[in-house]
Structure 1
Amino acid sequence: MAAELDGEYRDDQPLMIGVLTGAVAFMADLMKAMTIPLQIDFMAISSYGAATKSSGVVRILKDLNEDIEGRRLIVVEDIVDSGLTLQYLLEMLKARQPKDIRVVALLKKDKPDAIAVQTDRVGFFIPDEFVIGYGLDYAGQYRNLPYVAVLDPSVYTN
């Protein structure tokens, strides 16, 4: 994925936008593997709260520091689940008139009811299960695991 992005952006200096907090581990490894100059910024948005399913309500918790008008953007997501959060984020970013936007995601769930949303590169397609590790959490825990794992449903169901 890094080599593909290097090729696509070899004549530009893109702004890589990490979607906090889940994308941090993936973004760090991805940008270390890239060889082109780039800048980074972060946004924090949420549609989960403390639940394991998207609430459907998207909130901006932290906005960008950089002006993105006319810039080439690489949005880095940890996981595309319902597609709602990413759709909202892309609409908001497009309104700020960047030159273009590419979306890279570590994981994308295979969900028939998910919104069809732009994902230009995906590391792995996974079944519709709740996963943790490598930046992904449950109630703020497990982000530091060096791998991705399915969380046993007994942990979050009563």
Structure 2
Amino acid sequence: MNFKHNLKVLISKEDIEKGIVSLADQINQKYKDEQVSLIAIMNGSVFFFADLARKLNMPIKMDTIVVSSYSGTESTREIKFHKEITKPIVTNQNVIIIEDIIDTGQTLTAVYEYLQSLNPKSLEIVTLADKVGCHNDFKYEYKSIFQVPNKFVVGYGFEIDDLYRQLDQIYSVED
């Protein structure tokens, strides 16, 4: 494949699969015999969301939120909701927010507070990756499968201007 950027593999597809299986096992144990509503933050979490959802053993309902705060590799620091929840699956439900990465924490804060205002029974955050040292003031608990360095990452849903999402591994952008 011809890449516009110099990419270096950070996390292999095998390690991604193992991490998702481990997270799914934890969720399956925690919510055994209960229904869960999964809310994916699109578009970055699309692959993580689909792979995780297929490994869950309880009844699930799903919806998506579309939020943006990036232009290219830079955060605009402005959170824009392009799509909010369209189904009544949050109020009095166990809700899990599925996000690709926690970077500054601003997007997750906005989404968490929006969903909290809809009065869920419980509200949890899971992320595929956690960018080290970028969100020290993030105040909500979350579970993350991987830690990545403070570099721009692509693949497995991560992107630069919508490029590279389809790659089955996670890469750092080296140029």
Shorter-chain TM-score above 0.5: yes
CA gap of 1:62–1:110, structure 2 versus 1, over 3 A, is same
Corresponding residue to 1:73 among 73, 84, 95: 95
CA gap of 1:113–1:38, structure 2 versus 1, over 3 A, is closer
Cα distance in structure 1, aligned partners of 2:81 and 2:127? 19
Cα distance in structure 1, aligned partners of 2:169 and 2:99? 16
Report the RMSD for the aligned CA atoms in angstroms: 1.3
Cα distance in structure 2, aligned partners of 1:117 and 1:16? 21
What does residue 46 of structure 2 align with?
24
Query: For residues 35-75 of structure 1, what are the alpha-carbon distances to aligned partners after superposition, in whole Å with 9 as ceiling and x for unaligned?
Result: 11111110000111x23122111010111112221111010
Cα distance in structure 1, aligned partners of 2:139 and 2:98? 14
Structure with higher strand content: 2
Cα distance in structure 2, aligned partners of 1:115 and 1:51? 24
SS of equivalent to 2:164 = coil
Q: CA deviation at 1:111?
A: 1.6
SS of equivalent to 1:57 = strand
Contact 2:155–2:168 (Cα < 8 Å) also in 1: yes
Q: CA deviation at 1:113?
A: 5.2
Q: CA deviation at 1:114?
A: 4.0
Corresponding residue to 1:64 among 82, 85, 105: 85
Structure 2: runs of 5+ lacking an equivalent: 1-22
What does residue 31 of structure 2 align with?
9
Q: Does 1:52 align with 2:73?
A: yes
Contact 1:86–1:117 (Cα < 8 Å) also in 2: no
SS of equivalent to 1:88 = helix
Cα distance in structure 2, aligned partners of 1:47 and 1:76? 17
Cα distance in structure 1, aligned partners of 2:42 and 2:26? 23
Higher relative contact order (Cα pairs below 8 Å, separated by 6+ residues)? 2
After superposition, where does 1:114-125 map in structure 2 within 5 Å? 114-125=136-147
Letter aligned with residue 55 of structure 1: T
After superposition, where does 1:96-135 map in structure 2 within 5 Å? 96-112=118-134, 114-135=136-157
Contact 1:133–1:149 (Cα < 8 Å) also in 2: yes
Contact 2:155–2:170 (Cα < 8 Å) also in 1: yes
Q: CA deviation at 1:25?
A: 0.3
SS of equivalent to 1:118 = coil
